[in-house]
Every structure is written in structure tokens, then in C-alpha cells.
């Protein structure tokens, strides 16, 4: 039967109902961006309260759209980590409550696994990727290359040594005086700039393995901005710096994907996920690297790349299909690396 999935690990509150065959019966996302905008970043306490305020009505709405009641569900799944503990407790507490009241199965889902398995949603890619495939997760909280070898079987090939790539976009945008969230505003102004105007470092380029590092790049931008005459940064200068920053990140990611493929040569496809996958320059570069290696690049539609509950419900379907479920006292784990999962 259908699964209700709940996502509340960061700043999106989401609920979705997904059938065993991957049909999406209903999906709802509430982005808390406006709740946090005044603070220039996600405030954990505000996030937890906003999840609590939004979740009940959102689930009711999703059930109405799907024409289902709690009794019709096979299971309820909640993101149990990694993420902000307040939000995780709200979402999994809700999911467990419904599971208890309706006498249904509960599943504690790992947020990263949910991103990793999205590409297997039937109908999403022209050809459903076979294991192993390569996941490049590029978000505000994570930068990872993962070999997806099976449901529950993940090999971390590389990750960031400092900032996540989305975080680097957000911090750099802040330095340039651009509005939060920084990624989209930086990409927009970069279109007016010259990507060769400002020399910036490309940390980790050509280095063995596929770890990332972005803090040096951010520091380089901070030094450039500090050297500017006092007062607001001229728009043309901000555009040049933004374009140069985006070009540096693009070069790094292209090179890291190249190296990741060396660590997983039999990958059937490359999947990109996370909000940074929305960036056109980055997408174009990654597609070029994939094509050079003769591998398909699968970029799920943006709403399934960023945080959503369809991926949580689908990961639960994958787990149910191999006979798994969670105990009602399964804990939330703010830190929960993919390699700790088991098949």
C-alpha cells in the first residue's frame, strides 16, 4: 500500500504519499525561507516550531488529495537524520504518533539515503539506473560523492573537508551583499559578470580521490571584498566576483566528478541531487564530464533535488520491499553517515 513520508530535517517541511509502484499520490512542501530570511540563515529553534505549525494541516491536505485515510496507508516514514534535532523530533514524533494511532508500520529514514534513492523512482529517468551508480549530493548541508551499490549499501568516495558547496554559495553571496538564500542570487548576478575578471583559487583541483574544499575560496572572496574601497560594493564588481566564484566552483566540481568516476568505474549513471544542482553552469559542466565518460547524467526535477518528502516515502517503499521496518523507539540521529546503514 501507499506510504506517507515526512521530511523536517532542515528548513523545508514536507509531506508526500507514494505508492509501491512509485506513483506520487500527493506531495506538499512548505519552504521556511521567509521565516529565516531576517537572520541570514536557518535558526534551529524557529525551524522546529515552524515544522510543528505546518505539519498537521499539510498531511491532512495530502491525504485529501490522494483520497486516502491513515487506515489506507501501509506505513508512515519520517526523516530521522542527519539534520537539526528539533525538526527531526517534530517530524518523527508525528510519524510515530500516526503509526501508533493507526496501527501501522513506522520507518526511520536517513535523509541522505532518500536523496540517493530518488533516481530509482520509476519514470524519473529514461532508463532506471542500475546499481552501482554515482551520487553527487550538492546541497547547503552536504557535499558528497557516493557510490550507491544497493538499497542500504553506500560507499562514500569523498566529501567536503570544510564548507558544503551550497554553504559556500550562501556565505559568498552574503559577502557580496546579495540576499538570502545566496545560491540563486549569486547565479543571477554572475550572468552580468566576467568569469575571468578575478583570479580565485581552486582548492583540491587534480588532487587524488574526490574530497572537496571550499573555505579557501570563500576566504579569497572575503579578502577581495575587504580590499575594496569602503561603502557598498559596486554592482559590476560584485558581478565579476560572483562570476569568477561560480567558475571556480564549477571547475572544482567537474574535476571531482572526473576523479569520482575513477573510484567507481562501473557506475551505470551519475545522479545529481541537492539545491546546488539547480545551477545551470554547474549542471552543464557535470553533463559534459558525464558525456566524455559515456555515462548518462540524471538530474531529477528540481523539486525532487531539493529537500522533499517524496524521496522519504520512496526510500521507505524501497526498504519495505526488502522486508525492513523500524522500531517505534528508533532514535533521531543529528549525525548519521550513510556508511552506517545496512542493507
> Which residues of the chain form contacts with ligand ATP (CB under 6 A)?
9-11, 139-142, 166-167, 169-170, 181-184, 187, 274-276, 278-279, 306-307
**Collapsed DSSP state (helix, strand, coil) of residue 330:** coil
183 assigned binding-site residue: yes
CB of 52 to ligand ATP, least distance (A): 18
By C-beta, is 25 or 257 nearer to ligand ATP?
A: 257
Least CB distance from residue 247 to ligand ATP, whole Å? 13
Q: Where are the alpha helices (DSSP H) in the chain?
A: 33-36, 44-66, 85-102, 111-117, 165-175, 182-190, 215-226, 235-263, 280-292, 302-305, 310-321
Residue 106: its H or E element: strand 105-110
> By CB under 5 A, how many residues form the interface with Fe ion?
2
Is residue 167 involved in binding Fe ion (CB under 5 A)?
no
Say if CB 256 and CB 129 are below 8 A apart: no
> Least separation, in Å, of the C-beta of 21 and ligand ATP?
26
Among residues 124, 138, 127, 153, the alpha carbon closest in space to that of 268 is found at 127
Q: Is the peptide bond before 132 cis (omega within 30 degrees of 0)?
A: yes
Among the candidate windows 98-106, 200-208, 302-310, 330-338, which touches Fe ion by CB under 5 A? Answer: 302-310
Phi-psi region of 181 (alpha: psi -120 to 50; beta: other; left: phi over 0): beta
Binding mask 117-146 for Fe ion (x = CB under 5 A): ----------------------x-------
Please name the residues in contact with 336: beta carbons below 8 A apart, sequence gap of 6 or more. Answer: 80, 81, 82, 110, 111, 112
Q: How far is the CB of 193 from Mg ion (least distance, A)?
A: 26
Give the residue with the Cβ less far from Fe ion, 231 or 301: 301
Pick 15 or 200: Cβ nearer Fe ion: 15
Q: Measuring CA to CA, how many Å separate 279 from each of 139, 202, 246?
A: 11, 18, 9
- In whole angstroms, the minimum distance from the beta carbon of 304 to Fe ion comes to 11
State how far the Cα of 39 lies from the Cα of 66, in Å rounded to an integer: 36
Among 12, 255, 307, 318, binds Fe ion (CB under 5 A): 307
What minimum distance in Å lies between the beta carbon of 66 and Mg ion?
24
**CA-wise closest residue to 119 among 298, 258, 315, 317:** 298
Separation CA 217–CA 122 (nearest Å):
39
Dihedral, CA of residue 74, residue 81, residue 321 and residue 158, to nearest 10: 160
Of 11 and 307, the one with the shorter C-beta distance to Fe ion is 307
CB 183 within 8 A of CB 278: yes
User: From the CB of 75, what's the least distance to ligand ATP, in Å?
Assistant: 23
Based on CB atoms, which residue is closest to ligand ATP, 2 or 181? 181
Site for Mg ion in 280-319 (CB under 5 A): 307
State the binding partner of 318 from Fe ion, Mg ion, ligand ATP, none, CB within 5 to 8 A by kind: none
Q: Look at residue 166 and give the partner it binds from ligand ATP, Fe ion, Mg ion, none, a contact being a CB closer than 5 to 8 Å depending on partner kind.
A: ligand ATP
209 is in an annotated binding site: no
Phi, psi at residue 21, to the nearest 5°?
-85, 5
139 appears as a binding residue in the annotation? yes
Closer residue to ligand ATP (CB): 160 or 279: 279
- 279 binds, options Fe ion, Mg ion, ligand ATP, none, Cβ within 5 to 8 A by partner type: ligand ATP
Phi-psi region of 174 (alpha: psi -120 to 50; beta: other; left: phi over 0): alpha
- State the residues that interact with Fe ion by CB under 5 A: 139, 307
- State the residues that interact with Mg ion by CB under 5 A: 10-12, 307
Binding site per annotation, positions for Fe cation: 111, 115, 307
Binding site per annotation, positions: 111, 115, 137-141, 170, 183, 187, 279, 307
Amino acid at each position: 500500500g501507499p506510504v506517507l513520508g515526512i521530511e523536517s530535517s532542515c528548513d523545508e517541511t514536507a509531506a508526500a504519499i507514494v505508492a509501491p509502484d512509485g506513483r506520487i499520490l500527493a506531495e506538499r512542501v512548505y519552504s521556511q525561507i521567509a521565516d529565516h530570511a531576517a537572520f541570514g540563515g536557518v535558526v534551529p529553534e524557529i525551524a522546529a516550531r515552524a515544522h510543528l505549525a505546518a505539519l498537521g494541516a499539510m498531511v491532512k491536505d495530502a491525504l485529501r488529495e490522494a483520497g486516502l485515510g491513515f487506515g489506507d496507508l501501509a506505513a508512515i516514514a519520517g526523516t530521522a537524520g542527519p539534520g537539526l534535532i528539533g525538526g527531526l523530533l517534530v517530524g518523527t514524533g508525528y510519524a510515530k504518533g500516526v503509526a501508533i494511532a493507526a496501527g501501522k508500520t513506522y520507518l526511520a529514514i536517513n535523509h541522505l539515503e532518500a536523496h540517493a534513492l530518488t533516481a530509482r523512482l520509476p519514470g524519473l529517468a529514461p532508463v532506471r539506473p542500475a546499481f552501482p551508480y554515482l551520487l553527487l549530493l550538492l546541497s547547503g548541508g552536504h557535499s558528497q560523492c557516493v557510490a550507491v551499490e544497493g538499497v542500504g549499501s553506500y560507499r562514500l568516495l569523498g566529501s567536503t573537508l570544510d564548507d558544503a558547496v551550497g554553504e559556500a554559495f550562501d556565505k559568498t553571496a552574503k559577502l557580496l551583499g546579495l540576499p538570502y538564500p545566496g545560491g540563486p542570487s549569486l547565479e543571477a548576478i554572475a550572468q552580468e559578470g566576467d568569469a575571468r575578471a578575478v583570479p580565485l583559487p581552486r582548492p583540491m583541483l587534480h588532487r587524488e580521490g574526490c574530497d572537496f574544499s571550499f573555505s579557501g575560496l570563500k576566504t579569497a572572496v572575503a579578502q577581495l571584498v575587504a580590499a575594496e574601497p569602503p561603502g557598498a560594493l559596486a554592482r559590476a564588481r560584485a558581478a565579476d566576483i560572483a562570476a569568477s566564484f561560480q567558475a571556480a566552483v564549477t571547475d572544482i566540481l567537474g574535476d571531482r566528478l572526473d576523479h569520482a568516476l575513477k573510484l567507481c568505474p562501473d557506475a551505470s549513471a551519475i545522479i545529481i541531487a541537492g539545491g546546488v544542482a539547480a545551477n545551470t553552469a554547474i549542471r552543464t559542466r557535470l553533463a559534459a564530464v558525464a558525456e566524455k565518460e559515456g555515462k548518462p547524467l540524471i538530474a531529477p526535477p528540481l523539486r525532487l533535488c531539493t529537500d522533499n518528502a517524496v524521496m522519504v516515502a520512496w526510500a521507505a517503499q524501497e526498504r519495505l520491499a526488502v522486508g525492513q521496518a523500524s522500531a517505534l523507539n528508533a532514535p533521531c540521529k543529528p549525525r548519521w553517515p550513510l556508511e552506517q546503514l545496512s542493507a
